[in-house]
Amino acid sequence: MNMPEKPAIKTARKTRILEVLRSTRLTPSMQRVTLGGTDLSGFPLGQEGNYIKLMIPPAGTSMVNFRTALENGDKNAPRRTYTVRHHRPADNELDVDFVVHEGGGPACNWALAAQSGDCVGVGGPGPIKFPDHKAGWFLFGADMSALPAAAAALEDLPKNAVGHAVFEITCEDDIQEVNAPDGIEIHWLIHDHPHTSSTQQLDFFKALTWPDAAPGVFVAGEFTAVAGLRAYLLDEKGLDKRSIYVSSYWKIGLVEDEHRIAKNS
């Protein structure tokens, strides 16, 4: 059985120029930027957990000038992939969570410096595959880069869902509220050096007592950790790769464009 995608919503995909409403430190390693503006009107509903492409403007660029540059085909703005964490249509607001990490990067640095009235380009959303809601139980594994998508997928599960979610975070204060079903046990694992490889999630998966039924699986995060989890799920547990969501979101030592090449090689 192929992995189900969230229901398709027919809508014109366009680049929106959104305005920063506020920027808040959610946890020591996570910054939340709330976006709005007239371009957010018509953003499709039910896209929490789906990816968007952010186009980062040069510091001090006005919304009018950035819109003109993009409309004229300017491709100099760095583009980075992020997740719709919350969408509140009634308030015309969209939350995007950014991992705060040493050395930063165009998107991280932009989020940390973002002030009310700043702008950013947003493309998408594009589909993300969530676990089959008909699965007998659920198994999630994510590091901080994938926590927004995993949390949204958990919150999308049926209320009677059971299973485990394993979240690898940088410190105990990075624990955040996730409105998962009561039957989902959330386990927070501390990995205080995220730019070194970790097998904590894999070790946890191996120590679990697995029910007889095949789980609905969502696994995402760092390339090497995800590769180990994928091999375990497919080779040792015999799961069908078409029925699980396993994806690397980044790789230690590489920027996004380099990671994309490594991922597809």
Split at pLDDT 50, 70, 90, the class of 265 is: low
Q: 138-264 maps to which CATH number?
A: 3.40.50.80
Q: What is the SS3 string spanning the chain?
A: CCCCECCCCCCCCCCEEEEEEEEEEEECCEEEEEEECHHHCCCCCCCCCCEEEEECCCCCCCHHHHHHHHHCCCCCCCEEEEECCEEEHHHCEEEEEEECCCCCCHHHHHHHHCCCCCEEEEEEEECCECCCCCCCCEEEEECCCCHHHHHHHHHCCCCCCEEEEEEEECCHHHCCCCCCCCEEEEEEEECCCCCCCCCHHHHHHHHCCCCCCCCEEEEEEEHHHHHHHHHHHHHHCCCCHHHCEEEEEECCCCCHHHHHHHHHC
Mind listing the pLDDT tens digit for each residue in 22-34? 999 999 999 999 9
Give the residue extent of every domain in the chain.
Answer: 16-126, 138-264
The architecture CATH gives domain 16-126 = Beta Barrel (2.40)
What's the pLDDT tens digit per position in 150-172? 999 999 999 999 999 999 999 99
Share of the chain above pLDDT 70, in %: 91
- Structure confidence at residue 256 (pLDDT): 63
Residue 129 has pLDDT above 80, yes or no: no
Report pLDDT for 253: 82
| pLDDT reported for residue 127 | 82
The whole-number pLDDT of residue 101 equals 79
Q: Mean pLDDT throughout 97-109?
A: 88
Q: What is the mean pLDDT of the chain?
A: 91
